[in-house]
Amino acid sequence: MITICLLRHGETAYNVEGNKYCGRTDIPLTDKGIEQARRMNNLLKDYDFDHIFCSPLLRARTTAEIASGTPAKVQTDDRLIEVDFGQWEGKRSEDFIAEDPDSWTNWLADPTQFRAGNTGERGDEIIARLDSFYTELLEKFDGQTILVVGHNGINRFFMAKQLGMPLKNYRRLVQENSALTLVTLDKHKGFNLLKLNA
């Protein structure tokens, strides 16, 4: 079994500006986002992390460095990068839905068959890279405690899959900026969600 503290990065300007879709756009944390990461550092002070992994994007890496308090231990992994949102990138949902309502309707109905923003990723592609990452953790680090800092999209897809939910329902899971989700993964007992948004 492995214990995973799963974080979403702290607040960014895109979060403030009407929750613009910020998939692969590499923007920093706001001052509030930095404070959120510092709060998380205090919350995590009793954890002794064997490994720390994060998305290669700046907002996740900065959150991981501050929240862990051990920036030298932070390792980036491309499999943790946020969803490629295609033509939705940098836009608010109300704007891109007005431009192309069909692409949004299709994505909500079945993200495994349709690409985000027409040219982005499919849900099954997202799950494939996340399965690869978490399976590797389980094989290499049994019995260890790991901090993983990712993004709203990929973290919700991961949890939806592990909870046995249809992927089209991934948006029903809410992960707040720089809030703690605590899970365990076990080769025999599977996935357990212990805390959400602590």
Which are the catalytic amino acids?
9, 82
The pair of three-digit structure tokens given for residue 24, joined into one six-digit string: 């692969």
Question: What b/e sequence results for 78-105 when a residue is b if at least 16 CB atoms lie within 10 Å of its CB, and e otherwise?
Answer: ebbbbbbbbbbbbbeeeebeeeeeebbe
CA angle 148, 65, 60 (to 5 degrees): 55
Query: What is the distance between the alpha carbons of residues 111 and 194, in angstroms, rounded to a whole number?
Result: 27
Query: What is the distance between the alpha carbons of residues 82 and 25, in angstroms, rounded to a whole number?
Result: 9
Query: What is the distance between the alpha carbons of residues 53 and 51, in angstroms, rounded to a whole number?
Result: 7
